[in-house]
Amino acid sequence: MVFPVRRMRRARIKAIQPILRQTRITHEDLVVPLFVDHNLKKASPIASMPGQFRYPISEMGAIAEEIRDSGLRAVLLFGIPKHKDERATGAYEENGVVQEAIRSVKRAVPEMVVITDVCACEYTDHGHCGIIGKTRRGIDLLNDPSLELMDRIAVSHAEAGADIVAPSCMLDGMVSSLRSALDGAGSSETLIMSYSTKFASAFYGPFREAADSGYSFGDRTSYQINPANRREAFLESELDAGEGADILMVKPAGFYLDVLAEIATLGLPVAAYQVSGEYAMIKAAAERGWIREKEAILESLICIKRAGADIIISYFARDVAGWLVEEQ
């Protein structure tokens, strides 16, 4: 029997594998998403996301210190306000939940990179991502009035000390509008991480419990992307890049690696959001003994990075940070 000169298994010897590893997860890759609730006095567990919590503002400084001590350096904040109304006025209050959380984090850990979600779904009584009104299609999200709302939210976050604002409402023209508003308010150094390719996904379910952001009617398919549409997904990110986004994002992450890889060719940094449903599936399967949790988590993140992500937003970030320290 004639063997080929190229024997691929030579490179898979246990001692050799680490030095030939092509993709690695580091602390710098990871962002910790956090839910901050203005109504709480102590942390409250999220039933559909085992291991995750809603935190009161009073605990944000300590949480930031814990995250820093684990080797991580970036958080993404979501807020649950004291009150909701049709026009999401609580989203841009000077002393709103996210604004206060930013200040708490920055007081405790000034070097922490603070990213804020810029949207209205947690703040509206109807649960949609902006201003709603009558259109030819019935009651729907109104694009341009919602842009004005997002501008106010982003500026309030920047003034509170956010380093990066992340608009997630998938409005047409949102990056251009935010860039103009931030620059006009003296926040030209604030980066925009656009949720530039956000799919109308079935995997956001647990998040709606975590952020109290379920919608009272209809769905979000008029402003989020059909999962079947790859070319449209690329065009959305291409448009946001042209409008001045500093960072692009694909959400969800693990089921859209082909889209992630294509968007990485645009040349901007790319974030990938491993969403609540992706988290919950791994946790549920691991709890039942169907998969090995640590290995499944690390494999999922390696695949996301291998596809082209520079930044990975994951509810597993703090677990992974500990494992990375153990391996050093």
Of residues 212 and 208, more confidently modeled: 208
Q: What is the DSSP letter of 189?
A: T
Q: Predicted confidence band at 215 (pLDDT cuts at 50, 70, 90)?
A: low
* 241 within 8 A of 266, measured Cβ to Cβ: yes
Over residues 188-203, the pLDDT tens digits come to 999 999 999 999 999 9
Give residue 125's pLDDT.
83
Overall average pLDDT of the 143-162 stretch: 96
Catalytic residues: 198, 251
Give the integer Cα–Cα distance in Å for 120 and 213.
9
What pLDDT shows up at residue 166? Answer: 97
pLDDT in tens, 222-253: 778 999 999 999 999 999 999 999 999 999 99
**What structural domains does the chain harbor?**
23-327 (3.20.20.70)
Q: How far is it, in rounded angstroms, from Cα 179 to Cα 162? A: 14
pLDDT band, residue 218 (cuts 50/70/90): low
Tell me the three state secondary structure of residue 126. coil
Q: Please report the pLDDT score of residue 209 as a whole number.
A: 83
pLDDT of residue 128: 79
Average pLDDT for the chain: 93
Which amino acid, residue 311?
I
Cis-peptide, bond into residue 145, ω within 30° of zero: no
Helix (H) or strand (E) run with residue 117 in it: strand 113-118
Contact of 76 with 32, CB cutoff 8 Å:
yes
**What would the pLDDT profile of 63-79 be if each residue is shown by its tens digit?**
999 999 999 999 999 99
Res 131: pLDDT:
85
Question: Residue 194 corresponds to which tokens in the numbers above?
Answer: 């656009």
- What is the SS3 assignment for 81-115? CCCCECCCHHHCCCCCHHHHHHHHHHHHCCCCEEE
Among candidate residues 45, 43, 176, 159, the one with its CA nearest the CA of residue 98: 159
CA 282, distance to chain mean position in Å, is 18
What digits encode the pLDDT tens for the residues 7-22?
A: 888 999 999 999 999 9
Tell me the C-alpha distance between 236 and 232, whole Å: 6
Q: Say if pTM beats, i.e. exceeds, 0.85.
A: yes
Q: What is the DSSP letter of 281?
A: H
Give the count of beta carbons closer than 10 Å to the beta carbon of residue 35: 24
